[in-house]
Chains A and B, each alone.
Chain A
Amino acid sequence: MNMLRRHWPWILAFVILLAIPFLFYDWSKGRHSGFVLTLMSEIGVMAIFALSYNMLMGQAGLLSFGHAVLLGMGAYCAAHVVLLVKAGTIWLPTELVPLAGGLGGLFFGFVFGWLVTKQRATAFAMITMGLGELVSAAALMFMGFFGGEGGIPVDRVMNTSLVGVSYSSPWQVYCLVLVWAFVAAVLMKLQTQTPLGSMANATRDNFERAQFVGYDPRMVRLYQFALSGFFAGIGGGLYVMIYEIVTFDTVSAAKSANALLAVYIGGAGGFFGPILGTIVVVLLQSGVSLLSNAWLLYVGILFIVMVMYAPGGLIGLLFMHMPIWRAGRMRELLLPYARAFPPALIVLLGFVFLVELTSFTTIGAAQGKKFSIGGNVIDTTAPMPWVIALAMLVLGALWLRREARGFRERWDDVMDGIKRQGAMS
């Protein structure tokens, strides 16, 4: 009972995530949407990956450019374990395949961590980048372990389930991902409250001072890195279960960049920031990429905008509202928000329109695609669409600027009021 009272948000989140696929359930055919399940499984894996990245970036202040190495090595280890189980060499319950990935990640976390954690700051970033390139190159060279360009394909149906599940359907795999994602997230959350987690913060803030309270910052970084590898490896193990193949893109710089994007967009400051960021990035990646050639550009723009205007990420923006929410004055912001919404939408639409026009005149034309909105084909060579897009962008921006000024005034008023109230009580 007590547990329910204290941990209800986690339980609620779990139930909601379990229920979401049923919104897309095809009742006439009695089938889940494979697309939605794979998308949500991907979010689960990438959320673990981003959280493990934040163990370095948020907690220890270490900017890694090669974090995918840990995910990928975990995935390769898990894939080999699956092969061994299938061959009858060893026995392992299917449910524990992600753990095998985790142990692989932990091992390589120690090995690679030994190399990279001697340094911090820029040197650390550079060495992790070099390491990422090195492992990517190795993945194409050592056929035995990495399987070259083809990667290591596996069959996830192992018939060793502890609960009698075959894992032949995406729904079963999604459930496995969800359980592991929660286990990993809870463990990572708890890790922030341990001596190591706390000293990771300390070395981030002031590594020299940490030495004078008895800690070797290098060892703090190493253990933190290895643990981060453990969790990234769990993600890798789940990746194997979802896609039934591991290729060298799991260790690639692009995968590493994904974690960085998710953490920056979501925010490194709060524990849940990376999860928010992951949801946004994966939706852009998997959802928008179906609609637009320019999805990567949108991710990039979002990244730049966040770094420039909201360095605390989405979670930081949410946290900014906390004092206002607690003072019960959110209502006063409703109108300014409502007024800023139309111009913001116009700017956004104008921008998207412009990007799509451009992308259709270049890549789209080469692919022989036509730009159409609601069934109307738009002639990208005519001046009119361009003028409309530009006008939306410019006029919307001017309007937005005016509303933003009003919004800021309102915001400052409310904040001042709260501060004065706080000072009086």
Chain B
Amino acid sequence: MSGDITHVPAIELRDVCKRFGRTEIIRGVNLSIPRGERHAIIGPNGAGKTTLFNLISGRFPISSGSITVDGRSTADLAPQEINRLGLSRSFQITSIFPRMTVFENIRCGLLWSQGYRYSFWHLLGRQKALNEAADQLLERLKLSDRRNLQAGLLSYAEQRALEIGITIAGGAEIILLDEPTAGMSHSETDSAVALIRRVSEGKTLIMVEHDMSVVFGLADRITVLVYGEVIASDQPAAIRGNAAVQEAYLGTVAA
């Protein structure tokens, strides 16, 4: 353990492997993401990007290797415990609370981080700071006029926005977004990107994204994952010029 605390990477993966049965989906991934970096993970369909998120966020246990969040091994931690370390993730397949209102969805994302835990003695209606924070976020998500609607009744794009909202509500220091703009129109994508840029200011952001303009516009560094292996991890300009990446991924997109 050398160096002062600021040099501990936000996330570090060492020789991480994941097998489902006999098929190996993640094959020895090494990745170190320093604090404050905006990092994009790209790769073809089925490369294992979502699986990687599932491993980092504790949804699945890893088969071998190690993952640390802020220098702490997450091997024996449940998803909620990893979340409490300050890591929050979104889902590629929208995962919200469909029978609760949009406002309540956002508030659920705030509760733990604001220290309410399992309280049954605070009346939510009276928690001014909490409700204001939730309303402010709704405003930024442009969902204010949907505030009291059941979340399950939102349009697809609105549900995607809510998905991001629940993820960032708690103010986590490390944010993992899995294809946040998938299925959004151009203007929706633009405002989502602006929002992501703003909330990830000074934080660590890792996002999986297929939209290359979003990736190259936002990321400080890009990791390319193909068949469960990292084939490149570098600055955007270098990735653009990387022949292997061109062949494996960018080429197919350009074609």
Measured CB to CB, the residues of A under 8 A from B are 190-191, 193-199, 201-202, 204-206, 208-216, 219-220, 223, 227
Contact = CB atoms under 8 A, between A and B. Distances in A.
Contact count band on B: 35 or more
A210 B116 CA distance: 14
A193 B120 CA distance: 8
A195 B119 contact: yes
A227 B120 CA distance: 9
Given A209-B95, A211-B79, A213-B166, 8 more contacts: A195-B111, A199-B108, A204-B99, A208-B95, A210-B108, A212-B80, A213-B108, A214-B80
A212 B83 contact: yes
A197 B120 contact: yes
A208 B124 CA distance: 23
A269 B169 CA distance: 27
A213 B119 contact: no
B80 A195 contact: no
A79 to B, nearest CB: 27
17 contacts: A193-B124, A195-B118, A196-B120, A198-B111, A201-B97, A202-B100, A205-B96, A205-B97, A208-B59, A209-B95, A211-B78, A211-B79, A213-B109, A213-B111, A214-B80, A214-B111, A223-B118
B107 A198 contact: yes
A252 to B, nearest CB: 29
Nearest to B109: A213
A201 to B, nearest CB: 5
A199 B91 CA distance: 19
Nearest to B95: A209
Contact of A214 (B83, B98, B119): B83
Contacts of A204: 99
Pick from A197, A204, A208, A211 the residue with the most CB of B within 10 Å. A211
Contacts of B123: 190, 193-194
A193 B131 CA distance: 13
B170 interface: yes
Given A206-B95, A209-B97, A216-B78, A198 B119 contact: no
A193 B125 CA distance: 7
Interface in B76-91: 78-80, 83-84, 88-89, 91
Nearest to A219: B118
Contacts of B78: 211, 216
B113 interface: yes
Nearest to B89: A212
Interface string B41-66: 00000000000000001010000000
B120 A199 contact: no
A209 B166 CA distance: 9
A214 B118 contact: no
Nearest to B124: A193
A205 B99 contact: yes
Contacts of A214: 80, 83-84, 111-113, 170
A194 B80 contact: no
A212 to B, nearest CB: 6
Contacts of B79: 211-212
A201 B112 contact: no
Contact of B118 (A199, A202, A208): A199
A191 B83 contact: no
B186 interface: no
B20 interface: no
B120 A195 contact: yes
B99 A196 contact: no
Nearest to A210: B108
B104 interface: yes
B102 to A, nearest CB: 13
A206 B96 contact: yes
B118 A196 contact: yes
Contacts of B116: 195
Contacts of B98: 205-206
A208 B58 CA distance: 11
B111 A194 contact: no
A205 B107 CA distance: 15
A198 B124 CA distance: 9
Contacts of A205: 96-100
A190 B107 CA distance: 17
A319 to B, nearest CB: 13
B128 interface: no
A213 B88 CA distance: 7
B117 interface: yes
Contacts of B198: none
Contacts of A195: 111, 116-120, 122, 124
A214 B99 CA distance: 20
A202 B125 CA distance: 17
B7 to A, nearest CB: 27
A91 B91 CA distance: 57
Interface string B102-140: 001001110111001111111111000000000000000
